[in-house]
Structure formats: C-alpha cells, structure tokens
C-alpha cells in the first residue's frame, strides 16, 4: 500500500494541473447539484414501523383533519390583562393563519375558553333545571297516585252497592280518562328527564375530562393558541415558519406579545455561525505557529475547505431526495473540517521535515504520501467504518447522518492523498520560511550533522514527555487510568431524551414560549401526548361518545397525568383521538414514564371498553427514538470495535496494539460521557458552556460519539504507533522505538489534536442547540484521548510490554496481508531502482519538451 501511495503522490506532483482541474470540476459540479436539488432540512427523528408511526399513518388515512403536525403560540398581554383590542387582535391573527395553504386550522383560546366556561355554567344550570323538573314530576306522580287511589276506592264502593258496571263506567269514565292522560304526560316527562339526565351525565364527564385544561390563564394575562398544519411539523419549509411568525407578531400593535413554540421558531436553515468560525481561527493559529508560514498553514485549511465543500455539498444535493435531519450536514461539517485539516497536516509536516533535511521536493512529496499518507488512509478507514456502521441499528435518520459524514471523511482522505501533493508541487520552497531555509542549509552543509541529528533526536526522546512517561511507566499508567475513571463517574447517571424548548437559551423565543406556558398553563402543555383509539363497529353517536369518555377516564387516572381530553371522532365513529396532558415537559423522566404506563394500560382499556389504543405525536415519538437508540448501542459498539480491531490487526501486525487501542478508547468514551452528564445534565460549569437549563442528554449523542470518537482515537493510535513500529522495523529495540517513535509523532499529533479540539469546540456555542452537546462531547473526548490515552497511557504500556507489544502468532502472521503502514518497502533498494526507472522516461520527455 505504501508503494502504491508513493506512486500516487508522484503522479499528483507531476500532473498537478490535471489533479487540480479535476477537483475544481468536482467542486463546481457538486455546488451546482446542491443549489439545484437541495431540499428542506428537518429534525424528523421518527422511526418507521414503530407504534408512533403506525398511529400517525392511521390518522392520515382515517382522520386527515387530525393527522398533521401541531404547534402552539402563547400570547401574553403587556398590561395586567388582555384588553378587548388585544383579544380581537389575537382572533384576527389566528383567522389570518387559517388562510395559509399549509394550515389546517387554529384554536382560538378566547372562544375555546368561553365555551369551556359556558359549558360549566350551562351544566350547573342544567342540573338545577333537572332537579326542579324531577321535583315537579315527583309531585305530579304523587298527585296522580292519590287520584288513582280515590278513583279505585270510589269504584269499589259502587261495586259493593250493587251498581251496574255500565253505570259505574258512565260516572267514573271521565275521571279515568283524565288519569290516563295525566299518566301519559308523566311518562313523557320522565322520559324527557332521563334523556336530559343522560345528556347532563355526558356533559359532566366532558367537564371532568377537561378539568385542569385551560386556554386562557386564570389571571387573564396569557392565552395559548393551537395551530394544526396539513403536513408534519418537520415538513414545514422555513418560509412557512417565518410567515406564521410574521402573522402572529402583528398582535404587538395591540400591546400583546406573541411567542411561537420551538416547533415554529426553530431555525435550522443555517449550519455555520460565528462560534464555528472562531474554532477554525484557533486551528489556523496553531498551524501558523507549527509550520511557520501563512502558506504552509493555509494549505491544510484549503484542503479541508475543498473536502467539506464536496462532502457537505453532496449531502445538501441529496437532501431533496431523502428526509435529512439538520444535524447531518453539521456532523459532516464538523468531521470534514477536523480530519481534513489533520490529514493534510500529517503529509505537509512530513514533507516539510524532509525538505529541511535536503531531500528532493518531488521525492519528498511522494515519500510523504507513501508514509504519512499510508497512515492517513488507514486512520481514515477506521473513521469511515465507524460512521458507516451507523446504518446497522436500522434508524433511517441515523443511517443518513452516518453515511453523509463517512462520505465527507472519505473525500477528505482522497483530497489529502491527491490534491495535497499537487498543491505542494506548486508551492515548492515557499512552504518554508527563508529563515528556516537558511538555518537548514547551514546545518546540512556542516560536516557530521547526521551524528548531531541523531544525538539531538536521542536527547529529545529521553527528555521530553515521552521520556518522562517511559521513565515512570507504572505510575503514569495508574495516574492516567485513575484520572479518566474519576471523570467517568457521572456517566452512570446518563439519561437520554430528544431536547425540548426547556433546553434552549433563556433569551430565545422558544424558551420564552415554554416558560410562559409552564407558568400559566402547566409544563405538560408544552408536550401533549396523542392517543388514537380504535372503537368497535356499529356504535351510535351517543355510545361512541360514552366510549370516548370511558377511555378518557382510564387515561386520566394514570400517574402524572393532568388531563385526558377526547379531541375528535371520525365520521364512521371507528377512530377517536385523545390528548393527554402530562404534569411535566416532554423530555422529563416522569413524562417518559407516563408514555410507558399508557402503553401498559392497553390491555386494561381493551378489556373494559373494547377500544384498542396506540400512542403517537412528537412526545411519544421522541421516547420511541430514545429507547430505540439505547437498545442499538451495545450491538453497534460491538460491530465498530470488531471491524476496527481487524483493521488495526492488519495495520500493526500485533495482538496487543489493537487491544490496547480499544481499551484506551473505552476509557476515553466513559470519560466523555461523564463530562457530558456533569455539564449538560447536572449543569456543572453551565455558565462557561452556555448551559442555562440542564436536562436530559441528546438521545443520539452516545451512538454518534461512539462512532466518531472511536474513529478519531484510532487516527491518533495509528500516527503514534506507526512511528514506533517504523523505528522498531528499522532496527531499534522495542523500548527505544517507543521513545523514538513518540518523539517523532508527538509534535504533529499534539498540533492535530489541538486543531481538532478547536474545531469541535467552535460547535459548543452553535446557534443550533442540538449540536452543542455533540460538539462538547467530541472536543472533550478527543482532548482526553489524544493527551491522556494516546500520549500517556499508550506509550507507558508499550514500554512495559517491550517486544511483546509486537507479538503475533506465526500462523496468523502467514495469512495476514502486509499493508506496510510504516512504509518499510519505500526504503528498500528495489524501490530506489524502480523509482529511478520511473524518473528516466519523465526526464527524457522533459528534455524533449525543452528542445
């Protein structure tokens, strides 16, 4: 592989304009495709086949008016209460919203609250009327009974006196007819009373079901309106969201503040902000300090930009053909920038060192591509494997996320191996400052400088950090493991959920809407649970209504439920929709438990009412996603680690090195989880990282962090350990090779880690709240993995193992292909001969061209 990459580097160097032109063409083509075919990003994390999706599909086919997504707008009076002008302005804004093509309907809070209040008053009045009517009927029944008793007594007396039946009937017939008429009236009145009482009973049940549910706050200062859309919330275009916000904000003229919920106000159209630019600026500063010139520092940045332009541009081009979450291009952007800079840096730094050592520029570029480029290739493969394996859990949004990021990393690798050598051929000696050139030429001209170089390298390897670690390997190992173990302790309390508005910045419209809703109507109104009921066939309207209330009664008795309200009934009276209001917000542990308990009550509801239920809506869907992701973690971790162990076995031809690499990764992962829990769940250092409202951790953070961190950790493992293996393969003792290899790789790995941490840290303060914990987790994970694991624990263990570190069973050594990651074949005489043979035709063609 090293020889193949050597030839690729030489080809790119000699055919620089062809390579550059090809990449420019690719960039233009991808940019055009992204502009022409890009679609709308969303935060749709639904999973096909789950109950949530099944119920949503059922509503779409059987009750379309209730199938679209819904969102809320909280209106707050700037005065003590809503004025009539304020109420009219809210009603007018909602009426205007109804005219939008994407809006199914709206719920006017003032009209709805008036109906609820009137229903309560009407029910009380109806109960009084029913009681009065019953009293009148009872009195009429008593009078009728008394009259009948008198008539019976009179008839008995006449019969006893021997009067003929005809005479008796003639005298009493009129009274009997009057009594019969009175009985008929009494029966009709009783029937009417019973119907009225049945209606009152339904009204009472309806009032009981909506108890605790308000649309205008008790203090009259806030009102909450519901907006029903024709499509899912995630399918709304940014311009529709903006139009809704513009319309509701028209109420400001009436001294009313409109606060749209997160579903409406969330802006995911931009993926790059000020914080991300600052992260890249820090990375650029590190490059300038390390490489010494703006040209040298700008080259890795340029390569990263090209890779990101192609990778992320391709992701956007596909967003029109598939449902893509907003975090997919963000993850591709983060990784593309970080690995793009690092991969090019490794090749540029190797080339720079060889140039200063007096090597021919073309040979130096080719050799750097064959050695450092070989490490780049295998390091990139580990990242790609880890990201592509996100397909395995079977979650569509996660698969798209992983594949888009993997493709961007793959582009970064190809850019580093082809475009970097081509651009280096154009840059030439400008890569190095004049001062550094002068110093190098003076040094190379001095007699015996090779001996001096070896002595300097020896001093550096024994007196630097690598020397310190290897002088006290046991103490260093224990200290590193203990440190990461302490940091990892909070990870045992990890709680996962998709974020709601409570985790948004305090000043954001989404959080303000959440806060007003929580204070005025209860936190549960920010995340209602939708229950869909499948009613038996052949029910009358009254029976179907009664069934709805029967189900609502059971739902309402669930712990931590505030209200359970029947919302809609299909025309065939087979499908009913209920809204369950939990006590707390959608991401809270109690609401997750409510979802679980509601599903556990299915059998009870079916047995007692004959109604089958299922859950849907954003809250239930978020719980499904978090559960599914949690279940997918163990198999995903096993697949990623297994595949990468095989790859590392090929690269290092050792049993212990892959095991050490994986063990170190697990330590880094646990520490990263612990730090995330401490900051984002517990709120430690929340002021530093902008965590104003700590809560549950983003549910897909662990699985993404496993994939990304494993790949990046293996990057540093490859670069650090390949240097050690290179020294070992070139004749040094195993323990001395640890020090030599570490000293050669330490500076570039340190710079690369700082660059990667800087890029990821820029996303900690992203305008997309969902990205922040992901940026923190990756920045912290890379930080501890690079400096504590790869540059402290790994050299300590490798030094303790000595030659055992490179042990491989003979039978396995025979069947494994030799990928030559350290580039040993490039230093063999055969290679030199082949290189000179290749150079002769090129030299001849250049001579002919010159003539």
Task: Return the C-alpha torsion angle 737, 743, 746, 747, nearest 10.
Answer: -150
Q: How far is CA 442 from CA 129, 180, 449, 450, in A?
A: 111, 132, 10, 13
- The answer as to whether 253 is a domain residue is no
Count, residues in the chain = 851
CB 580 within 8 A of CB 532: no
CB 207 within 8 A of CB 108: no
Tokens of 745: 């790789």
Q: Report the pLDDT value the prediction gives residue 444, as an integer from 0 to 100.
A: 61
Residue 227 phi, psi dihedral angles, 5° rounding: -120, 125
Starting at the edge strand found earlier in the chain, the sheet holding 222-229 runs 103-107, 222-229, 70-77, 256-260
Task: Describe the crossing of helices 327-356 and 420-427 by its angle, rounded to 10 degrees.
Answer: 40
Q: Report the pLDDT value the prediction gives residue 599, as an integer from 0 to 100.
A: 92
The candidate with the shortest Cα–Cα distance to 341, out of 407, 373, 297, is 297
Tokens of 611: 């109604």
Q: Report the pLDDT value the prediction gives residue 535, as an integer from 0 to 100.
A: 92
Q: How many domains does the chain have?
A: 1
- The answer as to whether 313 is a domain residue is yes
Does the CA dihedral 56-58-60-65 come out positive or negative? negative
- The answer as to whether 561 is a domain residue is no
Q: Report the pLDDT value the prediction gives residue 443, as an integer from 0 to 100.
A: 58
- The answer as to whether 309 is a domain residue is yes
Which residues are CB-contacts of 630 (< 8 A; sequence separation ≥ 6)? 496, 699
Cα 349 off chain centre by: 36
Kindly state the helix (H) or strand (E) to which residue 757 belongs, with its residue range: helix 734-762
- The answer as to whether 307 is a domain residue is yes
The candidate with the shortest Cα–Cα distance to 613, out of 681, 545, 554, 663, is 554
First-residue to last-residue Cα distance in the chain = 37
Q: Report the pLDDT value the prediction gives residue 589, as an integer from 0 to 100.
A: 85
Please state, as a whole number, how many other Cβ atoms lie within 10 Å of the Cβ of residue 369.
33
Q: Report the pLDDT value the prediction gives residue 126, as an integer from 0 to 100.
A: 74
CB 760 within 8 A of CB 333: no
- The answer as to whether 308 is a domain residue is yes
Q: Report the pLDDT value the prediction gives residue 87, as an integer from 0 to 100.
A: 92
Does the CA dihedral 181-183-189-194 come out positive or negative? negative
- The answer as to whether 600 is a domain residue is no
Please tell me the distance from the alpha carbon of residue 128 to that of residue 125, in angstroms, as a whole number: 5
Residue 740 phi, psi dihedral angles, 5° rounding: -65, -50
Please tell me the distance from the alpha carbon of residue 613 to that of residue 532, in angstroms, as a whole number: 5
Bridge partners for 612 per DSSP: 534
pLDDT digits (tens, 9 = 90+) for 430-463: 888 777 777 766 656 666 555 565 666 666 667 7
- The answer as to whether 210 is a domain residue is no
Which residues are CB-contacts of 494 (< 8 A; sequence separation ≥ 6)? 673, 676, 677, 681, 697, 702
pLDDT digits (tens, 9 = 90+) for 598-635: 999 999 999 999 999 999 888 888 888 888 888 888 88
Please tell me the distance from the alpha carbon of residue 176 to that of residue 311, in angstroms, as a whole number: 98
pLDDT digits (tens, 9 = 90+) for 4-40: 888 899 999 999 999 999 999 999 999 888 888 776 6
Range of the domain at 30: 1-43+293-429
Q: What is the mean pLDDT of the chain?
A: 83
Please tell me the distance from the alpha carbon of residue 46 to that of residue 35, in angstroms, as a whole number: 27
Does the CA dihedral 707-713-718-721 come out positive or negative? negative
CATH of the domain at 411: 1.20.1640.10
Residue 614 phi, psi dihedral angles, 5° rounding: -150, 155
CB 531 within 8 A of CB 593: no
Tokens of 744: 């050669």
* Strands 222-229 vs 70-77: parallel, antiparallel or unpaired: antiparallel
Please tell me the distance from the alpha carbon of residue 651 to that of residue 700, in angstroms, as a whole number: 31
DSSP assignment string, 542-568: HHHHHHHHHHHHHHHTSTTEEEEEEEE
Counting as low any pLDDT under 50, the low residues of the chain are 829-851
Q: How many CA atoms lie within 13 A of 126 on its CB side?
A: 18
Q: Report the pLDDT value the prediction gives residue 819, as an integer from 0 to 100.
A: 67
Q: Report the pLDDT value the prediction gives residue 458, as an integer from 0 to 100.
A: 62
């Amino acid at each position: 592989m090293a020889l193949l990459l050597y030839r690729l580097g030489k080809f790119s160097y000699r055919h620089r304009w062809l390579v550059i032109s090809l990449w420019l063409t690719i960039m233009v083509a991808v940019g055009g495709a992204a502009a022409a075919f890009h679609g709308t990003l969303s935060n749709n994390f639904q999973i096909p086949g789950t109950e949530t999706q099944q119920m949503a599909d059922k509503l779409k086919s059987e009750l379309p008016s209730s199938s679209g997504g819904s969102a809320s707008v909280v209106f707050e009076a700037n005065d003590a209460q809503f004025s009539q002008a304020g109420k009219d302005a809210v009603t007018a804004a909602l009426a205007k919203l109804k005219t939008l093509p994407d809006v199914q309907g709206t719920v006017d809070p003032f009209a709805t609250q008036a109906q609820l209040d009137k229903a309560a008053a009407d029910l009380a009045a109806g109960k009084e009327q029913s009681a009065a009517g019953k009293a009148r009927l009872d009195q009429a029944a008593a009078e009728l009974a008394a009259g009948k008793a008198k008539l019976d007594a009179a008839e008995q007396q006449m019969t006893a006196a021997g009067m003929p039946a005809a005479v008796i009937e003639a005298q009493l017939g009129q009274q009997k007819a009057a009594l019969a008429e009175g009985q008929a009236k009494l029966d009709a009145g009783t029937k009417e009373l019973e119907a009225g009482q049945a209606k009152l009973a339904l009204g009472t049940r309806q009032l009981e079901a909506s108890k605790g549910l308000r649309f205008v706050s008790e203090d009259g200062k806030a009102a909450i309106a519901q907006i029903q859309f024709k499509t899912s919330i995630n399918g709304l275009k940014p311009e529709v969201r903006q139009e809704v916000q513009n319309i509701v904000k028209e109420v400001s003229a009436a001294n009313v503040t409109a606060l749209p919920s997160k579903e409406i106000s969330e802006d995911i159209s931009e993926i790059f902000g000020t914080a991300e630019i600052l992260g890249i600026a820090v990375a650029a500063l590190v490059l300038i300090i390390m490489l010494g010139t703006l040209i040298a520092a700008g080259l890795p940045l340029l390569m990263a930009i090209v890779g990101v332009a192609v990778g992320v541009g391709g992701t956007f081009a596909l967003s029109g053909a598939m449902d893509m979450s907003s975090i997919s291009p963000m993850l591709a952007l983060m990784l593309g920038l970080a690995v793009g800079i690092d991969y090019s840096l490794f090749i540029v730094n190797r080339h720079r060192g060889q140039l200063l050592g007096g090597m021919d520029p073309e040979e130096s570029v080719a050799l750097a591509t064959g050695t450092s480029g070989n490490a780049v290739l295998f390091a990139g493969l580990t990242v790609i494997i880890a990201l592509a394996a996100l397909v395995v859990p079977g979650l569509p949004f996660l698969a798209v996320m992983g594949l888009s990021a993997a493709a961007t990393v793959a582009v970064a690798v190809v850019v580093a191996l082809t475009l970097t050598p081509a651009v280096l051929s154009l840059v030439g000696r400008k890569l190095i400052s004049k001062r550094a050139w002068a110093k190098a030429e003076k040094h190379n001209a001095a007699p015996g400088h090779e001996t001096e170089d070896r002595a300097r390298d020896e001093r550096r390897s024994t007196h630097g950090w690598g020397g310190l670690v290897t002088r006290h390997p046991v103490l260093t190992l224990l200290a590193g493991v203990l440190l990461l173990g302490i940091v990892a302790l909070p990870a045992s309390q990890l709680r996962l959920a998709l974020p709601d508005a409570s985790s948004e910045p305090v000043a954001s419209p989404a959080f303000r809407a959440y806060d007003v809703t929580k204070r005025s109507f209860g936190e549960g109104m920010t995340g209602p649970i939708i229950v869909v009921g499948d009613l038996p066939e052949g029910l009358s309207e009254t029976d179907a209504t009664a069934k709805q209330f029967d189900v609502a009664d059971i739902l309402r008795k669930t712990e931590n439920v505030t209200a359970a309200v029947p919302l809609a009934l299909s025309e065939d009276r087979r499908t009913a929709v209920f809204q369950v209001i939990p006590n707390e917000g959608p991401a809270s542990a109690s609401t997750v438990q409510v979802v679980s308990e509601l599903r556990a009550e299915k059998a009870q509801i079916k047995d007692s009412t004959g109604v089958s239920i299922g859950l849907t809506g954003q809250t239930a869907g978020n719980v499904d996603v978090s559960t599914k992701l949690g279940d997918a973690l163990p198999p995903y971790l096993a697949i990623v680690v297994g595949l990468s162990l095989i790859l590392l076995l090929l690269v290092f031809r050792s049993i212990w090195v892959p095991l050490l690499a994986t063990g170190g990764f697990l330590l880094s992962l646990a520490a990263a989880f612990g730090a995330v829990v401490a900051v984002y769940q517990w709120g430690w250092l929340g002021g530093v990282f902008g965590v104003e409202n700590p809560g549950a951790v983003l549910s897909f953070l662990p699985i993404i962090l496993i994939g990304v961190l494993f790949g990046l950790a293996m990057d540093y493992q490859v670069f650090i350990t390949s240097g050690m293996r290179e020294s070992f393969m070139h004749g040094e003792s195993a323990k001395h090779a640890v020090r030599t290899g570490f000293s050669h790789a330490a500076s570039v790995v340190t710079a690369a880690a700082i660059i990667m941490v800087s890029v990821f840290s820029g996303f900690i303060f992203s305008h997309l709240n969902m990205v922040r914990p992901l940026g923190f987790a990756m920045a912290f994970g890379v930080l501890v993995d690079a400096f504590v694991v790869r540059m402290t624990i790994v050299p300590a263990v490798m030094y303790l193992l000595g030659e055992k570190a490179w042990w491989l069973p003979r039978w396995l050594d025979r069947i494994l292909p030799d990928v030559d990651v350290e580039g040993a074949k490039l230093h063999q005489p055969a290679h030199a001969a082949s290189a000179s043979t290749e150079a002769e035709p090129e030299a001849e063609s250049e001579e002919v061209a010159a003539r």
